[in-house]
Amino acid sequence: MRSSRLRYSSMLTRLRVKNYALIEDLDLSFQEGLSILTGATGAGKSILIDSMNLILGEKASVEMIRSGEKEASVEATFEFGGQVPDPIASFLSEQDGEALLLKRQVLKGGRSFGFVNDRQVTVTTMKEIGKCLADLLGQHHHQSLLDPRIHLNLLDRFSLEGSILEDYREEFLLLRKKELELRETLQQEQISNEKRELYRFQKEEIDRAELKPEEEESLREERGVLLNVQRISSTVQAVKQALCEEEGSVLDRLKLLFKEFESVSELDARLKEKLSQWQETIFSLEDLSSDLVRYGDLLGADPERLELVEDRLRLYVDLGKKYGKGYGAIISYREKIGKELHSLESLQDRIRDLKEEISQLKAELRKLGEQISKERHKGAVTLRQRVEEELKELGMKGTKFEVSFIPISSSVAAVDLSSEAGEVFADENGLEEIEFLISPNPGEPLKPLAKIASGGEMSRIMLALKTVLAKVDNIPLLIFDEVDVGIGGEVASLVGKKLKKLSEDHQIICITHLQQIASYGDNHFRVYKTGKGKRTITVVKRLSRKERVEEIARIISGEEITELSLKHARELLNEASEAVNSK
């Protein structure tokens, strides 16, 4: 469960710094809205910024460990009131509730350690988490807008409506999936070409043989007969002669004996039963004799038939050696390679289908990409106009802002959508990369944001961008340093108003030297040095209403506060309050 109390998706609620530079042990609580930090030059305001940099994963320096101490540490607690970013979600549990505790330790020996909810993590992990939580806006600070990869996301949030980008990414992923499948299928087909030809030959060889069930056994029997025709014929002739043809043949003698036995069977009834058996034997031998005569007439040497049988049996033996012994094994192998052939031949159909699908997907993806590009260009024009208007109000008249569009080039991560209409490459985000460019001074060329030298200019540029992108920029905590450099009067008051307005969508912490900006704070902290024993320490104090008047009066008149500066301070606070309430 996330907290419903918070105005923002997350909020810094506590910052504790120990033994860091001039800070001995500092424990600050923060609220929603605009928090102002003021103090004399050198009081230690930048130390707080550096400590936040540590929490956000920036480089640690042992030189910042307080003299005489073995280690320095910084802890920051964030509470969540909305959707938790992916890099953070895995660190939260029911036990942790809504809080995320980031901790950084720097040891005298030069080593540093990072912890998230008491789990040790790498500095890289802390940096990834920090990107989701806070922007430090000033020269050389941790800020997301210096990373061109963030620019496209912000422009899309500013320019695109509906689900067109999600639709594009779904089509892109599907296209990559189909292209991968096509490459794998083509490789499979290449490997299978020789196998396909072999299977075709084997299948045709088996089909040409026209094998039949039980044919091989029948041929073996026939071969046995054909190889022994002479011996069979001689034996059959001898049996036939002895049985019925020669003088005193078996049948003749059985018939004579039958007549004698028939004559005595009249004398004993029991012999009549045997008489019928005897007669059946004679009939069977006569049938046998006839069969032998017919068999003998049919039997004869046939060398041509024997050769045909031998060839046919050799075919069975040869096929058996290749594909399995016997009709069943050969036919089983034939069915197996038939299925394999069908599968291999279907690869060609699949390749054809995949090419058609990929062609259609590329056309659809290019159409979606061109629609997205059109909306991005329109949004970029509006963004340029609004940012330049903001910068003009912030005292940077003549500053030019542009969104640079760079077409995607050929790479491993890109897909080729080229057609007759022209060469086009795309990645998962569209047909182009973008980068915000700026020229703070008239006549100077446009440069990437990271190339802006002045910290004051950088802070105001970031304020302008954050103001325009307030509703689409999902980084909840913004820390402004040096936003007031080089400005004053009405511009300074306007900066204060804009920071106050921006605090409706983001938690803001601002370090300032100007009373006009300080008067717009919801919470005001004074940073100052004091003595403790023989040491100097930096202290941060939350100010009451009365103390705020005194602090703003100090900013106005210096260390010597006058009645006039106190009066002016009260007027500034009242004017800021009226300006906010009159919205």
pLDDT (tens digit per residue) in 34-79: 999 999 888 888 888 889 889 988 888 888 899 889 999 999 999 9
Q: Domain count for the chain, please give it.
A: 1
In 3D space, the residue among 571, 580, 540, 548 whose CA is nearest the CA of residue 44 turns out to be: 540
Distances in whole angstroms, Cα of residue 289 to Cα of each of 248, 285, 296, 297, 504? 15, 6, 10, 12, 123
Residue 294 falls inside a structural domain: yes
In 3D space, the residue among 495, 512, 480, 514 whose CA is nearest the CA of residue 138 turns out to be: 480
The whole-number mean pLDDT for each consecutive block of 10 residues of the chain, a chain of 583 residues, reads 58 94 93 92 86 88 89 92 76 68 91 91 90 76 72 89 91 94 83 76 88 86 70 70 75 79 75 77 78 66 75 87 88 86 78 93 94 96 93 86 92 86 90 92 86 70 83 84 78 88 91 92 93 90 94 88 91 86 66
Please write down the HEC assignment for all residues of 539-578.
Answer: EEEECCHHHHHHHHHHHHHCCCCCHHHHHHHHHHHHHHHH
Q: How far apart are CA 571 and CA 579, in angstroms?
A: 12
Residue 583 falls inside a structural domain: no
Q: What is the extent of the structural domain holding 271?
A: 195-338
Residue 231 falls inside a structural domain: yes
Distances in whole angstroms, Cα of residue 160 to Cα of each of 152, 375, 434, 436, 505? 11, 6, 15, 17, 20
- Give the DSSP H/E element, type plus range, for residue 95: none
β 535-542/523-532 pair status: antiparallel
Residue 502 falls inside a structural domain: no
Residue 320 falls inside a structural domain: yes
Q: Name the packing angle between helices 303-323 and 215-227 (round to 10°).
A: 140
Amino acid 31 reads Q
Residue 116 falls inside a structural domain: no
Amino acid 130 reads G
| Whether the Cβ atoms of residue 204 and residue 338 lie closer than 8 Å to each other | no
Residue 139: the pLDDT is: 54
Residue 331 falls inside a structural domain: yes
Collapsing DSSP to helix, strand or coil, 108 comes out as coil
Residue 208 falls inside a structural domain: yes
Q: How far apart are CA 266 and CA 271, in angstroms?
A: 8
Residue 446: the pLDDT is: 92
